[in-house]
Amino acid sequence: MTTIGWIRHGVTDWNMERRAQGQTDIPLNDAGRAQARLVAERLKNEEAWDVVYASDLSRAKETADTIGAALGLPVRVDPRLREISFGTLEGTTPDERVLQFGSAWESMDFGREMPEAAAARGESFVADVLDRHPGERVLIVSHGALIGNTLRRLAPEAEMNEHLGNTSVTIFTFADAKWTCELYNCTKHIGERT
């Protein structure tokens, strides 16, 4: 059985402002760094992990570096773990999008990456992880939309409609060619969900 722990990065100023980050490289803010320390401490005190991977965007990489330091593991970076691209809408809030483009903005293109393309990127990465780390416990630090789209593609029957919280822990196991959700969107380390 291979276990994959998915961690969403800590919070950023743009998260707090509800701005679409996409692949814009926005750093963690102080609250995000505190969240990263809390999830790192949690993971250190739970079952051991074998390897840590991260997106190359700084908000995920810094979260992963904090976790890796606590676990005594180096962080491996893969650009396939980047957030879904929001195209020219990156940096805008929902209200700004409606004001500029009207309520039908979601039906417009703006150079956005399609969710299916992001899911295929994530699935490609997971396939490599399964080849490289059979039977191991692998942590992946990435982004909310990339994680959500990838998991819905891997396990479409699982109930995963809830928005992933910053530094949430989601654990999936792979055995007998089947994915099983063991834990979803848990942020008990920051006192939000159990």
Distance (Å, rounded) from C-alpha 154 to C-alpha 159?
Answer: 12
Q: Please choose, from the candidates 75, 188, 54, the residue with its C-alpha nearest in 3D space to the C-alpha of residue 170.
A: 188
Which two three-digit tokens encode residue 80? 């396939």
Distance (Å, rounded) from C-alpha 37 to C-alpha 39?
Answer: 6
To the query of whether residue 189 is one of the catalytic residues in this protein, the response is no
Distance (Å, rounded) from C-alpha 93 to C-alpha 41?
Answer: 33
Candidates 41, 62, 83, 162; catalytic one: 83
Strand partners, 76: 53
To the query of whether residue 163 is one of the catalytic residues in this protein, the response is no
Candidates 9, 62, 90, 113; catalytic one: 9
> Which residues are part of the catalytic machinery?
9, 83
